[in-house]
Amino acid sequence: MKVLMFGWEFPPHISGGLGTACYGLTKGLASTGTEVLFVMPSASGDEDQESVRIINASDVELRESLSDLERFTEKVRFMKIDSNLVPYLDPVEFKKMISEDMEGRREWFRVHYGDKYKFSGKYGANLMEEVARYALIAGEIAIENSFDVIHAHDWLTYLAGITAKRFSGKPLVVHVHATEYDRSGSNINTQVYDIERAGMEAADKVITVSNLTRNIVINKYGIEPSKVVTVHNAVDFQNFEQLEVERGVNDKIVTFLGRITFQKGPEYFIEAAAKVLSRYPDVRFVMAGSGDMLNRSIRRVARLGIAHRFHFTGFLKGDDVKRMFAHSDVYVMPSVSEPFGISPLEAMRSNVPAIISKQSGVAEVLKHAIKVDFWDIDAMADAIYSLLTYPAISKMAVRCGLDEVNALRWEHAAEQINSIYNEVTC
């Protein structure tokens, strides 16, 4: 089986869990003998290609797909989008950042025969233009390569997947790692929603990372239930090394690690921290990440009078994440809506007990993480206090959690996905 896979990022250059999931899945697929051509907007050359062959969209010349521009624009008429987009911003900040609409839909196609389009591969102000250009390149890649099935990850690549399907006639599988409802709650960006729905409708199968996400896809996007299959994520611990660190303080450390956005529930972590500190003063809380709610979170910490016990690190990745877990005594993921959530698995593998929201996909597969409703700051504070105060509870959570996460392997997820590939290619 040969798969043409469209992603947006790949380690070591990642901005979140999507790139990590793509890396683990492609390694799992390779272990089953599946060959993956992984397309990304901008490759740096230092990506691990042991399990995949990276196709850098920035290196692809536009030839065949532009030989008849009218034919191409007819095929991609679904790409009529009127503005740029920056993900994870609330509507007010979005309007501030975008001062004018893009003029003319055909502006996107002003590329000459034989030219290349240099992608940033980032999530900047011209993101929507890059999404459209990426779809343009996808037609070229679909013509130039042989493959059996197309696999597109998240909304950024759905248009590319649809284009590749229309040019090649091959079946399309879309992978939903998150939806616009997860990112924005009820105040969704309709352009992103429309792309997500178009991708799901065009797909032969839709893979969701949890049953929580599957229900959203069925109920909010109107997708036929028989077409939607849940395949839970896993974690790659093949080269994992437990770090030994020397602490500069004797206090216990409770960590939040993720984007500081509405979806991740940082405000609930802060309120719970204040409650814990009123009963257990020898603890420090760390919020590791960045996002549109960072300044608001800092102000709330100051108002609560806990700034001397609360630390903001900014965005962490790679070894810095491992070091953060090595320093931690408790990890908390209070997400309002989390399609899956790989970070609790990484924490538990680092021998850190985890508290997770019931509104997360990972809660479907973990039995030895403490689960609370994201909004229940009293229950969250009680859980943190218990893990800090009672060593027996913490030790049991560490021991059982470690066994649990070691059983969640990408090879198992890959076997399920291979079955989906076989089903759509029959």
The model's pLDDT over 380-424, given as tens digits with 9 standing for 90+, comes to 999 999 999 999 999 999 999 988 988 888 999 999 999 999 999
Domains in the chain: ranges and CATH: 2-234+410-425 (3.40.50.2000), 252-406 (3.40.50.2000)
Which of residues 271 and 131 earns the better pLDDT score?
271
128-143: average pLDDT:
87
Q: How far is CA 228 from CA 154, 209, 281, 362, in A?
A: 14, 11, 48, 18
DSSP character for 85?
A: -
DSSP character for 298?
A: H
List strand residue ranges (DSSP E) for 358-396, in order. Answer: 370-372
358-382: average pLDDT:
96
Highest mean pLDDT among 64-73, 79-88, 181-190, 369-378: 369-378
Contact 27, 51 (CB under 8 A): yes
Q: Is the dihedral of CA 19, 22, 26, 27 positive or negative?
A: positive
Interatomic CA distance for residues 139 and 335, integer angstroms: 37
Helix axes 377-389, 391-406, angle to 10 degrees: 100
**Residue 314: phi, psi to the nearest 5?**
85, -175
Task: Scan for tokens 């199968």, then name that residue.
Answer: 205
- Residue 161, classified by CB atoms within 10 Å of its CB into exposed (0-12), middle (13-18) or buried (19+), is buried
**Any bridge partners for residue 207, and if so which?**
175, 229
- Between 152-156, 285-289, 340-344, the lowest mean confidence (pLDDT) is in 340-344
Q: How far is CA 103 from CA 78, 81, 86, 193, in A?
A: 17, 11, 18, 22
Interatomic CA distance for residues 182 and 3, integer angstroms: 28
Q: How far is CA 309 from CA 28, 78, 328, in A?
A: 41, 51, 14
DSSP character for 369?
A: S
pLDDT band at 282 (very low <50, low <70, confident <90, very high): very high
DSSP character for 367?
A: S
Residue 119 confidence (pLDDT) above 80: no
Collapse the DSSP code of 290 into the 3-class scheme (helix H, G, I; strand E, B; otherwise coil) and give the result. coil
Interatomic CA distance for residues 120 and 86, integer angstroms: 13
pLDDT band at 239 (very low <50, low <70, confident <90, very high): low
For residue 90, give the amino acid letter.
D
Helix intervals (H) in 359-409: 377-389, 391-406
CA atoms within 13 A on the CB side of 140: 24
Task: Scan for tokens 């959203």, then name that residue.
Answer: 216
Buried residues in 259-278 as b, exposed as e (16+ CB within 10 A): bbbbbbbbbbbbbbbbbbbe
Residues with Cβ < 8 Å from 55, sequence gap 6 or more?
37, 38, 39, 40, 43, 141, 145
What's the confidence (pLDDT) of residue 240?
66
For residue 194, give the amino acid letter.
D
For residue 184, give the amino acid letter.
S
- Residue 133, classified by CB atoms within 10 Å of its CB into exposed (0-12), middle (13-18) or buried (19+), is buried
Task: Scan for tokens 């380690």, then name that residue.
Answer: 11
Pairing of the two strands 172-176 and 149-153: parallel
Interatomic CA distance for residues 418 and 413, integer angstroms: 9
Smallest CA-to-CA distance from 409 within 174, 240, 179 is with: 240
Q: What percent of the chain has pLDDT over 90?
A: 60
pLDDT band at 314 (very low <50, low <70, confident <90, very high): very high
pLDDT band at 105 (very low <50, low <70, confident <90, very high): very low
Residues with Cβ < 8 Å from 45, sequence gap 6 or more?
none
What's the pLDDT tens digit per position in 51-87?
Answer: 889 999 888 877 655 444 445 545 444 444 444 444 4
What's the confidence (pLDDT) of residue 10?
87
- Between 10-19, 283-292, 383-392, the lowest mean confidence (pLDDT) is in 10-19
Which of residues 75 and 344 earns the better pLDDT score?
344
Helix intervals (H) in 62-116: 69-75, 91-97
First to last CA, the chain: 12
Interatomic CA distance for residues 43 and 52, integer angstroms: 13
Which of residues 310 and 14 earns the better pLDDT score?
310
CA dihedral of residues 373, 376, 381, 382 (deg, nearest 10): -80
- Between 202-211, 215-224, 238-247, the lowest mean confidence (pLDDT) is in 238-247
